Amino acid sequence: MRQNENVFTNIDLPLFFAMILLMIFGIATVYSVSFNPNHPLLFAPSEKYGKQFIWLCVSLFVGFLILLINSEIYRKYAEYLFVFTILMLVLVLFMPPVHGARAWLGFGGLGIQPAEFAKISTALLMAKWVAQTNIKLQNMRTVSETVGIILLPSLLVALQPDAGTLLVFTSFLFVLYREGISFDPIVFRLLRLVTRFKFTSTWVGTHFIPLLFFMVILCVFSLYTSESSLKLGENVVVSGTAGMIFAVTGLALLVLGAVFLWGFKRFRVKNLIILLGSYLFAVLLISSVSIFFNQLAAPHQKNRIELVLGLKEDPNGSDYNRNRAMASVGSGQFLGKGYKKASVSSVKTNHVPESETDFIFCPFAEEWGFVGSLVLVLLYLFLLFRIFFIAERQRSVFFRVYCYCVGMILFYHFAINIGMNIGLAPVIGIPLPFMSYGGSSLLSFTIMLFILLKLDSQRKDVLR
């Protein structure tokens, strides 16, 4: 592989400048929300904006170093980087908890969050593994090992516990679906155990990832309706769970009727077994979701989910952060209050806790209003679409998979954080990329994107 004479002339400038613009928005918002008139300089090391500015400089310095390194090193040492971050995730479990989670490693006055960097190493290793795997020759071992790459750091993050980061790791599953990784080997084994039939392929295995997320949506609806009831007559009252089962039964009968009208002879018995099995599984899932939710979910997690679904209200307790965040966003109205004029989300008033970290969107929306918020959302969407565009133009499978991993990680952070700030998602503590205060988050996202820029700059030199 030959090296380009000047990598800086080959980087994707639209993506680079979109990232820089988000960094500027981020440091400006942190400066505004936590401004201290006694230390007005941006680089005041005693203030949060001063620390964030230092992290910004360090992140950009590391990023430009990445552009000077041969991109082949990321493929060559992907396993070692993965093992190193796994060891860090194990080590962090023995650290004292911070805000109820063992997620930080402290070095003097410096603290880093290994889970943020585990996303990078997982993306690199998964890209390398998928590039080496022949999709047409998938078996139980290859699929299990691919899923294991995602599962291992996910389990360690769950032990911290960090629900937000754990949720982000599920984004890698969509990358597997994009690359055509089928879960047929696992589905085959389960179906053979239950039915004794030998299957060659299944629609369930091929589309397992979207089906999995459909089941999650089904669980949410089941949970939402479990506390409600439907009155069918003066003396007939049906619970929400029973109503969901009736709805699924009606859908199954509709599909089954269409099958018989189309021609039962063309519809093989194995497919009928899959249809009936899916129906029974859906009924079982609907019936049990409420039980599992009440028995297994932690109290604070139950509170957050119930608040988001509107099953309970607690404006001055568990729902305080979400209510204050929505009040802050709404107070910005159409054009906002102006820079450094946020009152609801200011650190001084403390109406919105963590307004410079997980709720950084609140002061931005309060200062710049609907127009500014729309510009920020469009900038993030441009960043995401640019990443996916870059992914599709790669000739190397390794490069393409890594780009999609980065895109999905950023999408999860963006969608969940914004949803959290406007009341559409539970408060699970997830930073807004390049905007939220925090060195680990800023450094990891910067490294992530600069590796992508480096790989893309050499796309014409690498074939695999």
Asked whether residue 360 is assigned to any structural domain, the reply reads: no
* pLDDT band at residue 233 under the 50/70/90 scheme: very low
Question: How does DSSP classify residue 9?
Answer: G
pLDDT at 235 over 50: no
Q: What is the pLDDT of residue 178?
A: 82
Q: Is 97 exposed, middle or buried (0-12, 13-18, 19+ CB in 10 A)?
A: exposed
pLDDT in tens, 257-266: 555 545 544 5
| Mean pLDDT score, 321-334 | 83
d(CA 329, CA 417): 13
> Of 311, 329, 344, which residue constitutes the final position of a domain?
311
Judged by DSSP in three states, 35 sits in coil
Find the range with the poorest average confidence among 26-30, 110-114, 247-251: 247-251
pLDDT in tens, 134-178: 665 566 777 788 888 999 999 999 888 888 888 899 899 888 888
DSSP E strand stretches across 105-149: 105-107, 110-112
Are residues 254 and 390 both part of a single domain? no
| Mean pLDDT score, 260-287 | 59
Are residues 85 and 161 both part of a single domain? yes
d(CA 244, CA 234): 21
What total of structural domains would you count in the chain? 2
> Of 288, 311, 334, which residue constitutes the final position of a domain?
311
Are residues 84 and 200 both part of a single domain? no
Asked whether residue 224 is assigned to any structural domain, the reply reads: yes
pLDDT at 3 over 70: no
Q: What is the pLDDT of residue 375?
A: 95
Q: What is the pLDDT of residue 180?
A: 76
Q: What is the pLDDT of residue 239?
A: 47
* pLDDT band at residue 127 under the 50/70/90 scheme: very high
| Mean pLDDT score, 362-386 | 93
Query: What mean pLDDT value characterizes the chain?
Result: 78
Asked whether residue 56 is assigned to any structural domain, the reply reads: yes
Q: What is the pLDDT of residue 24?
A: 95
Q: Which residues contact 381 (CB under 8 A, 6 or more apart)?
A: none
* pLDDT band at residue 236 under the 50/70/90 scheme: very low
Are residues 169 and 38 both part of a single domain? yes
324 against 251, higher pLDDT: 324
Q: What is the pLDDT of residue 83?
A: 94
pLDDT at 10 over 60: yes
pLDDT at 436 over 70: yes
Predicted TM-score of the model (pTM): 0.82
pLDDT in tens, 420-433: 888 877 778 789 99
Q: Which residues contact 6 (CB under 8 A, 6 or more apart)?
A: none
pLDDT at 194 over 60: no
Are residues 307 and 186 both part of a single domain? yes
The phi and psi torsions of 345 (rounded to 5 degrees) equal -100, 10
| Mean pLDDT score, 210-233 | 62
Q: What is the pLDDT of residue 429?
A: 79
Q: What is the pLDDT of residue 221?
A: 65
Are residues 227 and 280 both part of a single domain? yes
Q: What is the pLDDT of residue 442?
A: 94
Q: Could you identify the residue written with the tokens 């392929």?
A: 201
Residue ranges making up the domain that contains 406: 1-9+28-173+378-464
* pLDDT band at residue 1 under the 50/70/90 scheme: very low
Q: What is the pLDDT of residue 35?
A: 84
Are residues 284 and 190 both part of a single domain? yes
Are residues 192 and 299 both part of a single domain? yes
* pLDDT band at residue 341 under the 50/70/90 scheme: confident
* 167-205: burial string, b at 16+ Cβ within 10 Å, e else: bbbbbbbbbbbbbebbbbebbbeebeeeeeeebeebebb
Judged by DSSP in three states, 239 sits in strand
pLDDT in tens, 301-313: 677 666 666 666 6
pLDDT at 224 over 80: no
Asked whether residue 216 is assigned to any structural domain, the reply reads: yes
| Mean pLDDT score, 264-273 | 55
Q: What is the pLDDT of residue 272?
A: 61
CA dihedral (148, 153, 159, 162) in degrees, to 10, reads -130
Asked whether residue 357 is assigned to any structural domain, the reply reads: no
Q: Do the Cβ atoms of 38 and 49 come closer than 8 Å?
A: no
Asked whether residue 352 is assigned to any structural domain, the reply reads: no
Are residues 291 and 252 both part of a single domain? yes
* pLDDT band at residue 102 under the 50/70/90 scheme: confident
Q: Which of 95, 96, 101 lies closest to 162, judged by CA?
A: 101
* Portion of the chain with pLDDT greater than 70, in percent: 66
Are residues 147 and 224 both part of a single domain? no
Find the range with the poorest average confidence among 165-179, 242-256, 396-410: 242-256
Asked whether residue 447 is assigned to any structural domain, the reply reads: yes
Q: Which of 306, 333, 337 lies closest to 322, judged by CA?
A: 306
pLDDT at 112 over 50: yes
**How many CA atoms are closer than 13 Å to the CA of 86, on its beta-carbon side?**
16
> Of 266, 295, 311, which residue constitutes the final position of a domain?
311
Find the range with the poorest average confidence among 81-95, 101-115, 288-302, 363-377: 288-302
Q: Which of 443, 460, 452 lies closest to 386, judged by CA?
A: 452
Asked whether residue 335 is assigned to any structural domain, the reply reads: no
Are residues 287 and 389 both part of a single domain? no
Are residues 186 and 305 both part of a single domain? yes
d(CA 355, CA 345): 6
* Portion of the chain with pLDDT greater than 90, in percent: 31
pLDDT at 213 over 90: no
